[in-house]
Amino acid sequence: MPLVTTGSRDVDPDFLSLPLDACADAALARATELGAAHADVRVVTTRTSYVSVRDARREGAVESVSRGLAVRVVHDGCWGFAAADLVSPEQAATLAARAVALAQVSRPLATLRVELAPEPVHTGRWVSSYEVDPFDVSEQERVAVLAERSAALLAHPAVSHTEARLLAVKEQVFYADLAGTRTTQQRVRVECDYDAIAVGAQGGFESMRTTAPPTGRGWEYVTGRVPDVGGARGWDWDGELGALPDRLAEKLAAPSIEPGRYTLVIHPTNLWLTIHESVGHATELDRALGYEANYAGTSFATPDGLGTLRYGSELMHVRADRTAVHGLASVAWDDEGVASGEWDLVRDGVHVGYQLDRAMAAEFGLPRSNGCAYADSAEHTAIQRMPNVSLQPAAGGPDLAGLIAGVEDGIYVEGDNSWSIDMQRFNFQFTGQRFHRIRSGRLAEQVKDVAYQATTTDFWGAMVAVGGADTYLLGGAFNCGKGQPGQVAAVSHGCPAAVFESINVLNSVQEAGK
């Protein structure tokens, strides 16, 4: 296979040494014998490491590896799927027969015939862009970095306790189908954060967490030795951790917010989550059609409004992609063999696009999927999952200081925390890590207990200024849930800082006490 990669690495030899092609040949031949119109094979290995440190001491460390083989078919217009943890040609042929049998059982219950949008044949290997494989770093070294930084936080008199966590994942996927596509991919991603906790003299307490986003990088991101690439930046760990104790002390003494309507300047470390909940999930076509409601409900953005629904102000331009360097959802091909790309979801404030898999594309009358199929393991079948969904910066737009300078009286919001959104992705409420009053175009004192609340269209319709490229940051999460049985996917959301006028701000403590 040709090597198609954004870095200098190839897929690990131990994965390539598995009987990948032999498994594909056996499964596809058996599926053909049994009359399948479509069949695909996946071999998936996922290695996960989680390390936690509390008060500069190792609290726990877990490392796991899962591996499996999956076969999916379309037979007589019905899906069939089977999987096992043994990767062998014999098992592959058995799974193909089992998948066809399950499709036959489903046939009397089916109301629609499964059709798949066509896709050209692809072959190749792809590896995400990272410098140091986190699994080449010893557990001792990983714990040492977390403990050293935690000890520095604890040395400050304002900090009573600390917690630190590091999660690393390496995912390897082989895919083959009857059309002739055969691809192999390897992705690495890491997430690291630190919590500082202050206990006041009167027994009250506050906490503040670092805002470094998870990313499709390696160990170099955790140490801070990494260049910036687009919105997927390295992180100034020394700068943020050095400032965290004083910010925490100020938060402990800060006044509680007075509810009302405010102009908000929202930093990307907070706004990414609002995008995820109110745009990302809402533009999944299976939700919009009512086929999917698990975890996050359906969607107000139904197909009858495509091309006309006013989602937000004319400044709102949201693109979906599976190509962003260091994006958590970035791949070369999805789990249906569709080559990755990018496309608009909202343009000039109007809803213009959806996220699709091959069956959704065919049902919607489109010539091709946009590559949004994913399964989190061989145990699960591929379903439509979110790509990277990002608000675009304004060409020549202001920097953060320029955005704040344009606000006479408002609140600056940084870092994500809790959230709530209804089952139509329409009414929502979000909090954050840190809030400052803005007075006469400058940051003033911290306040706390801020929660902003709106409907999706009112909120995005209130966006009056969008930052330039230097305010853009690629945020995201490892743990987006969907499906039944439930699946978890990692996804990035890039955005610049932005300004929203007359947003309803609640006092989160008062609201919780009602």
Cβ atoms 306, 344 nearer than 8 A: no
Q: Residue 107 is inside which H or E element, if any? A: none
- The tens digit of pLDDT for each residue in 416-449 reads 999 999 999 999 999 999 999 999 999 999 999 9
Secondary structure class of 90 (helix, strand, coil): helix
Q: Give residue 200's pLDDT.
A: 81
Cβ(331)–Cβ(187) under 8 Å? yes
Q: Residue 288: its pLDDT value, please?
A: 96
- Measured CA to CA, the distance from residue 326 to residue 136 in angstroms comes to 19
Spatial distance between the Cα atoms of 298 and 282, rounded to a whole number of angstroms: 7
User: How much is the pLDDT for 514?
Assistant: 64
Q: What is the pLDDT of residues 70-85, one digit of tens each?
A: 999 999 999 999 999 9
> Is 171 within 8 Å of 44 (Cβ atoms)?
yes
Over residues 215-251, the pLDDT tens digits come to 999 999 999 977 665 566 689 999 999 999 999 999 9
Cite the residue boundaries of each domain of the chain with CATH code 3.30.2290.10.
13-253
pLDDT at residue 1, rounded to an integer = 45
pLDDT in tens, 86-132: 999 999 999 999 999 999 999 999 889 999 999 999 999 999 999 99
Mean predicted confidence (pLDDT) in 197-209: 87
Neighbours of 83 (CB within 10 A): 21
Residue 55's H or E segment, with its range, is none
What's residue 226's pLDDT?
A: 73
Percent of the residues in the chain that have a pLDDT greater than 70, as a whole number:
96
N-to-C CA span, the chain: 61
Q: Is pLDDT above 90 for 513?
A: no
Preceding omega of 485 cis (within 30 degrees of 0)? yes
Whether 300 contacts 281, CB under 8 Å: no
**DSSP structure string for 460-474:** HHTEEEE--GGG-EE
pLDDT digits (tens, 9 = 90+) for 28-67: 999 999 999 999 999 999 999 999 999 999 999 999 999 9
303 contacts: CB under 8 Å, gap ≥ 6: 285, 288, 289, 354, 364
pLDDT interval class at 6 (50, 70, 90): very low
C-alpha angle 478/483/484, rounded to 5°? 125
| pLDDT (0 to 100) of residue 2 | 45
Angle at 135 between CA 328 and CA 14, to 5 degrees: 95
The DSSP secondary-structure symbol of 341 reads -
How does pLDDT run across 168-199, given as a tens digit for each residue? 999 999 999 999 999 999 999 999 999 999 99
Q: Considering the chain, what is the average pLDDT of its residues? A: 95
All residues at 6 or more sequence positions from 123 whose CB lies less than 8 Å from its CB, including other chains: 1, 2, 180, 181, 182, 183
- What confidence score (pLDDT) does residue 230 get? 59
In the CATH hierarchy, which fold is given to the domain comprising 13-253?
A: PmbA/TldD fold (3.30.2290)
**Cβ(313)–Cβ(460) below 8 Å:** yes
How far is the C-alpha of 322 from the C-alpha of 336, rounded, in Å?
A: 14
347-396 pLDDT per residue, tens: 999 999 999 999 999 999 999 999 999 999 999 999 999 999 999 999 99
CB-side exposure of 437: number of CA atoms within 13 Å?
15
446-484 residues labelled b (16+ CB within 10 A) or e (exposed) = bbbbbbbbbbbbbbbbbbbbbbbeebbbbbbbbebebbe
Centre a 10 Å sphere on the Cβ of residue 345 and count the other Cβ atoms it contains. Answer: 23
Radius of gyration of the chain from its Cα atoms, rounded to whole angstroms = 24
